[in-house]
């Protein structure tokens, strides 16, 4: 586990700033990717499969084929669900040797796993709209148990789980968990020669 000296703090700050810039720039494209995955998740469990999620660069519009075509479509700002990636990037930046192949590979793998949680979070958000925010339609199609389940799932993700997921992925995948950080072959051979 890295002790936080000023160099580590500086690495974390640089990683954080770079991550904010990348996240802001990539969000419009990434939102489409997340919307596609969340739509697939929702339609897998829907009978009939009617939900359509469309990212328009600002938010994701929720549409259903059985909605009245004249009614307005709810929109969800996906950036509220995805900014924990910035935390993940800052945590990997404070690791020893942040530019090592192993750290970068594990960061990319953690990002991939996190993107699945983003899709699940968006699907949960859509379900929380279906169960509670569409008035009579919600009351006709869903009961109290579903309302409580999806409401708690959505709120807990936004409140603490999104941060805990970033911390958990970093904790599980940071280099040095299974083995010490590898040293250069030259230093290692010198050490072998001494012993």
Q: Residue numbers of the site for other proteins (CB under 8 A)?
A: 1-4, 9, 12, 16, 20, 23-24, 79-80, 83-84, 86-87, 90-91, 94, 152, 155-156, 158-161, 163-164, 166-168, 171-172, 176-178
Q: Closer to other proteins at the Cβ: 36 or 168?
A: 168
CB of 6 to other proteins, least distance (A): 12
Strands 75-76 and 60-64: antiparallel
Q: Closer to other proteins at the Cβ: 42 or 81?
A: 81
CB of 79 to other proteins, least distance (A): 6
- Local structure of residue 181 (DSSP, 8 states): P
Helices (H), the chain: 6-45, 79-82, 84-93, 101-132, 136-141, 144-156, 162-173, 185-194
CB of 15 to other proteins, least distance (A): 10
**Angle in degrees, CA 83, 87, 93, rounded to 5:** 135
- Residue 84: which of 129, 34, 44, 134 has the closest Cα? 34
Q: Closer to other proteins at the Cβ: 84 or 103?
A: 84
Q: Closer to other proteins at the Cβ: 43 or 147?
A: 147
CB of 12 to other proteins, least distance (A): 7
Work out the number of other CB atoms within 10 angstroms of the CB of residue 152: 12
């Amino acid at each position: 586990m890295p002790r936080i000296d000023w160099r580590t703090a500086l690495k974390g700050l640089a990683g954080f700033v770079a991550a904010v810039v990348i996240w802001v720039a990539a969000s419009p494209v990434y939102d489409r990717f997340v919307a596609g995955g969340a739509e697939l998740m929702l339609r897998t469990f829907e009978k009939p499969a009617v939900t359509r999620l469309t990212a328009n660069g600002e938010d994701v519009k929720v549409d259903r084929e059985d909605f009245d075509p004249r009614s307005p479509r709810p929109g969800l700002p996906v950036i509220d669900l995805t900014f924990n990636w910035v935390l993940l990037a800052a945590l990997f930046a404070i690791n020893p040797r942040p530019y090592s192949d192993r750290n970068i590979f594990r960061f990319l793998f953690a990002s991939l796993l996190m993107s699945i949680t983003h899709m699940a979070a968006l699907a949960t958000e859509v379900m929380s709209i279906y169960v509670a925010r569409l008035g009579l339609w919600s009351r006709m199609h869903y009961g109290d148990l579903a309302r409580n389940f999806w409401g708690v799932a959505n709120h807990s993700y936004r409140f603490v789980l999104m941060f805990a997921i970033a911390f958990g992925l970093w904790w599980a995948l940071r280099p040095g968990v299974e083995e010490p950080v590898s040293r250069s072959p030259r230093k290692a051979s010198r050490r072998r020669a001494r012993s």
